Amino acid sequence: MAFGQEKTKKTTFEKITLVIILLMVIATIAGLLVPAISALV
């Protein structure tokens, strides 16, 4: 891979990836919980 020279930037890229994944998970959970909560209320 050509990314072998950018090992110093890998940590930042991994952090950005983790943040994106967390946001997607939170959005998914919110999308599932909001209709359920509104239905119960």
pLDDT by residue, tens only, the chain of 41 residues: 455 565 666 788 889 999 999 999 999 999 999 998 889 88
Residue boundaries of the structural domains of the chain: 12-40
User: How many whole angstroms separate alpha carbon 9 and alpha carbon 5?
Assistant: 9
C-alpha distances in Å from residue 14, one per residue of 20, 22, 40? 10, 12, 38
Q: Tell me if the pTM is above 0.85.
A: no
Q: What is the DSSP string of 1-41?
A: -GGGGGHHHHHHHHHHHHHHHHHHHHHHHHHHHHHHHHHH-
Sole residue written with tokens 């239905």: 39
8 Å CB contact between 34 and 27: no
Side chain identity, residue 39:
A
